[in-house]
Each structure stands twice: as structure tokens, then as C-alpha cells.
Structure 1
Amino acid sequence: MSTSAIDTNDAAAIQAAQEGVLCIDRSFWGRIKVSDGDRLRFLHNQSTNDIQSLKPGQGCDTVFVNSTARTLDLATAYILEDAVLLLVSPNRREFLMQWLDRYIFFADKVQLTDVTDETATISLIGPQSDAVVEKLGAAAIIGEAYGNHISIPSVSGSLIGVGSGLASPGYTLILPASSKQEVWSKILEAGAVPISDSTWDKLRILQGRPAPEQELTEEYNPLEAGLWQTISFNKGCYIGQETIARLNTYKGVKQHLYGIKLSGYAEPGSVITIGDEKLGKLTSYTKTLDSHFGLGYIRTKAGGAGLKVHVGEVEGEVVEIPFVSHDYPQF
């Protein structure tokens, strides 16, 4: 396929994410089932969101951080009747299985099971996703809160949850691997346009979803990554809580993740500057049909959207991105 064909398809996908409906097979992402009696308390203590307050049929995004609040992964937790199902990044599942296992103590009633190989994940992206959901017989989920989920009536052992995984509206399906092809065919028949992993990555950069090994590393904390919606400031102690609480209380976030419109190609890792002043680092780059775009961390004191910067030798302008927030929450 030529470069122009790739660009044209990407342009169509970007438009469909804004106006139509896309679908992507995210089965290579990790799925971890956390079961037994202490599952909610355990996850509540290991991640940033208020897992313990959720009921079956609800869900949320949450961040796993280390003891100094550096990010390990952004995950989605779906609360089932007898377990919690975690959707985690594809390059983080083995690490998280081992990391979580370290915190299960003798008296804890917690079981971890990697169910990635026996399950599948499909996401619907875009404002016309509701029409596809209706065709799947799951119209009851339309209009529900983010993370809420129900089973797909015709597919045993499945769930469909609100949220596309990006800033665009949509839904995420998790189902037995044996049912994936049948459901995928129904989704295509309902008019969804399939996209590749590379197009998903392009959309995630344009919309500002941070990714492990790029924006989510042990250099950054979830407040710097703009993941305020994943953090409960009212829950009890959890790993990394003291650092996050202190940063929030004293408004001590030193850098923020932004989008950067670029005049040309820039290598991830390039230094972001104004004159001789170093402001941060480019973490992701993508090219669209008519522009270049990246994600990068900008020092808080330097300012935010509207800044004219250099990224390496390339000119850039700092812009807002819809997936993240830069404001301290109001209580």
C-alpha cells in the first residue's frame, strides 16, 4: 500500500471518529481477572481510583503507580458480580500480573488470572456507535455513565461498556475469543469501519491518550499526565497516595502533557525549547494527511496552550488535547 493510500485512509478514519463509527480489534491488549472475596479492597489499595465504591455493572479508569506515584499503566476496571476485569495495555500485562502478585499477602482472598488468550476486546469509536450497539441488541447501555456495562444478550460471558478507550464517544466489548468473529462480522454489517493498530495509535496521539513507555513512564506521575479523572482524592491510603495528595494540595505539578502542532517531522525524545530554555520533551509523534503532531510534557511555569516552541529543529505550537485535563479539581 502506498504512503498516499495510508494517509487517505487515516484521514477518513479521523473523520469517521468525529462523525461516524470505527471499530478496532484490541484483543492483543491485556485482560486480568481479579477474583475472590477481597478483590475490591485489594484493587482499591493498589490503584488511584475509588474501586471499593463501585457496584457490579459499573466501571472506571484507574492508574497503577509505584510508591513514589510514578505511572505503571492506565487501566479500565469493570466490576462483575464475582470478579473485577481489568483491561490493561498490551505491553504491561505480564509486568502488572507480577507486580500485583507481590502485594497479595497470606491472609488476602485474592486470585489473579490472565484471561487475555481466552477473551477478545473490540472497541467502537465515534458518535454513530449507538446504532451499532442497537444492532447487537445492547441498546440498554446507551446513555449510561462511563464504565457502566451490561452483557450482550446473544453472547454468553460478554460485556459491553461505555467508553471507546479514546476521547471520542464509543463502547468497548470484552467477550470469549470463540465469539469474536461472529460479533466482529455483525459490527461490520452494521456499518462500522475497521481500523488498524497504527491508525488507533494515530488517533490516540491526536486525542492525547498517554501510553506506557511513551507518556506513562517512571519519569511522570498521573497528575502530570492529565489523568485527574482516574484519581480519587477522598479515598483512603493506597500505593503512591501521599505523593499524589501532596502534589494536589500544594499545586505542585511541575509539568503537564500537551499536544504540539509541528511544522515537520520530530523524533520522540527531542527536547522542547523556547530560545535556550528547555521546557520538556516530545514523547510521541504522528503524521496526518496535512500536518505533523506530537505529544510532550511542558514545564508548568512556561505556560500552556498557545506557546510557540521548537522541538529539536522543528517549530511547534502547544495545544490542548481532549483526553487529558490540566486543571486542579474543585471540591
Structure 2
Amino acid sequence: MWTRIPSSALRLTGADRVDFVQGQMTNHLKAAPTPGMVPCAFLNVRGQVEFFARAYKRADDVYLHLAEGDAPALAARLRRYIIFDQVDVQDVTEQLGTAHVWPGAALPGWDAAGADVQSFELGGGTVLAARVNRVGAVGVDVHYLRAHEAAVLAALGEEVPGAALERARLEAGVPDVPADEWRGVLPQEVGLDFAISYRKGCYVGQEIMARLEARGNTRYRLARLTGEGLPAHADVTDAAGKVVGRTGASTGAVTLARLRKEFADGADVQVGGVSARVEDLTPAQPG
């Protein structure tokens, strides 16, 4: 039971690769094991999200797994910061594919009692796999060479359409920056606290993150809205018509929203003229 994950990817090599990307991302890659993975964001100078990624630290490279279409823009950004660093940034989107194996589904070669990141033989080639929460429970992302795609996917069993995974994601409260169109907002406002280390060294936007940790004064939070016919990517308004938030993707009955904190569990709001009820939410950490 698996679902294709449309995505893009960068591979960083060179002696300074870990130090270099550590200075760009919000999480603590240097503290991860080898192999290991940390979720992270790349921010602008105002502390707002530009990209969300999963950074894999391996013996010979750093692999950045990104949303579909993100790799060229992030590669251009990273290259602007390379001065004396011994690092090479390569877009490997065309060579690699990704599938998510749903929680509890069989995955030949995966050690359920083993490390969070593993490599093993599957479908005639070596795959890279990691525990990732995409639907409210932990499944496994499998990254494979496209040359082996047919054999790898055949070994995974039944394919589940992407729409089913997206519905499960929203019902579980798992944020997704590109799908929910939350670029340009503070990560804490949309449930991305898990992707930030407040104890690592400097990175772009780090000063803003430190201020937010000290003051805890973001005005928005991630909430779930329920109703009938809820539109995606629409303004959320209060009874007086004042805009108090914005929805992300939607199933029609459930949507996630970046919402003003004063609207607590049970509050009534409007989304594009449709009534909705606010549900407090402990965001599932995608990992």
C-alpha cells in the first residue's frame, strides 16, 4: 500500500557540504546520525518560509528531498552563498523517484526495529528509506533510481491514489507548505516548529526565530476547520467580515488554516461565505 510523492531533489557533495547546508537550514543536520534525516525549512531574512525539505545526511553526500518543482530555485539560492566552500549542488530530480509506504504496510527489506533511515536492496537496486509521518502516523518514504522504478513499485504492492493520501493528511492535521500555499509565513504559524532547532548555529532568518522563541508572540497558529463545501486557499473571516486567517488545501469538509490565535476550539468563522467550525489541533510532526 503506497502512494507516489511528486517531488524534486538536490544532491550536495564536497568536503564542506554538511557545514554549508547547516548554515542555510533551520534544523540541526550536524547532530543527526549518518545515515540520518532531519526535516527543515529554508527561510528568508524575515524568518518566513521559502522551502520545506527533508535533509538526509549520508557518508558521501547530503540529499535534500523537496516538493515538486522546488529544486531549481533552492539550488540557485544555495549557489549564491557558495564563496570559498568546497561544495557542489546538483539537481537529481530526473534520476530519482519517491513513494510513501503507508503505516503498517509491508515493505520488503525494511527493518521495523532498525534505524529511522535505512538503505537496502529492492527491485534490483538500492533504495534509501526513512520514517516519515504524512497521514497522522509514521510510514516510510522510499527513494529509488527511476531506472529501477517499475521493479521497485511492483515490489511495494497496491498503489493508493494521491488524493487519498492528501485527504488523510488534512484530516490528521499534517501541514504541507507547497500544497497549503504557506510560503512567506513564519513556520511557527503553520505547525512547522518541529523543523526548527533553537540550539544550532546561525542561518538565514535565525535572528527572527530566536526572538520568537524568547517572546512566543506569533499571532497565528495552525487550526483545522470543518464544514461543508469549504474552499481551499481562501480567506477566513469573523462575524464582522474581518480577515482572521487563510485556509490551505481542502477536502471540502476539512481544511487546515493559518488562523488568529484568539479563535479557539469551537469558534465559528466563515471561509469564502461558507460556515466553518474551528478545531484545536496538535499538528502531526511529518518528520
TM-score, L = length of structure 2 = 0.91
**C-alpha deviation, 1:277, in angstroms:** 4.0
The yes-or-no answer on 1:158 pairing with 2:127 is yes
**C-alpha deviation, 1:246, in angstroms:** 0.4
The yes-or-no answer on 1:39 pairing with 2:7 is no
Q: Which runs of 5+ in 2 are unaligned?
A: none
- Aligned pair count reads 283
The yes-or-no answer on 1:227 pairing with 2:187 is no
Name the counterpart of 1:329: none
Task: Assess if the C-alpha contact under 8 Å between 2:263 and 2:278 holds in 1.
Answer: no
Evaluate the alpha carbon distance shift between residue 113 and residue 159 of structure 1 in structure 2; reply closer, same or farther with a 3 A threshold.
Answer: same
Alpha-carbon distance between aligned partners in 2 of 1:267 and 1:110, rounded to the nearest angstrom = 40
The yes-or-no answer on 1:299 pairing with 2:260 is yes
Alpha-carbon distance between aligned partners in 2 of 1:95 and 1:172, rounded to the nearest angstrom = 23
2:92 aligns with one of 96, 112, 115? 115
**C-alpha deviation, 1:164, in angstroms:** 4.4
Alpha-carbon distance between aligned partners in 2 of 1:42 and 1:304, rounded to the nearest angstrom = 41
Structure 1 segment 152-231 matched on structure 2, within 5 A: 152-154=120-122, 155-188=124-157, 193-208=158-173, 209-212=175-178, 214-218=180-184, 220-231=185-196
Evaluate the alpha carbon distance shift between residue 38 and residue 151 of structure 1 in structure 2; reply closer, same or farther with a 3 A threshold.
Answer: same
The structure with the largest helix share of the pair is: 1
Structure 1 segment 241-320 matched on structure 2, within 5 A: 241-287=206-252, 292-300=253-261, 302-320=262-280
CA deviation string 1:246-275 (max 9, x = no partner):
011111111012110023333522333234
**C-alpha deviation, 1:144, in angstroms:** 4.7
Q: What secondary structure, in the 3-state scheme, does the structure 2 residue paired with 1:48 have?
A: coil
TM-score, L = length of structure 1 = 0.79
Q: What secondary structure, in the 3-state scheme, does the structure 1 residue paired with 2:211 have?
A: helix
The structure with the largest strand share of the pair is: 2
Alpha-carbon distance between aligned partners in 2 of 1:197 and 1:36, rounded to the nearest angstrom = 36
**C-alpha deviation, 1:178, in angstroms:** 1.5
Alpha-carbon distance between aligned partners in 1 of 2:31 and 2:232, rounded to the nearest angstrom = 43
**How big is the alpha-carbon RMSD for the aligned residues of Structure 1 and Structure 2?**
2.0
Evaluate the alpha carbon distance shift between residue 320 and residue 93 of structure 1 in structure 2; reply closer, same or farther with a 3 A threshold.
Answer: farther
Name the counterpart of 2:4: 25
What percent identity do the matched residue pairs reach? 23
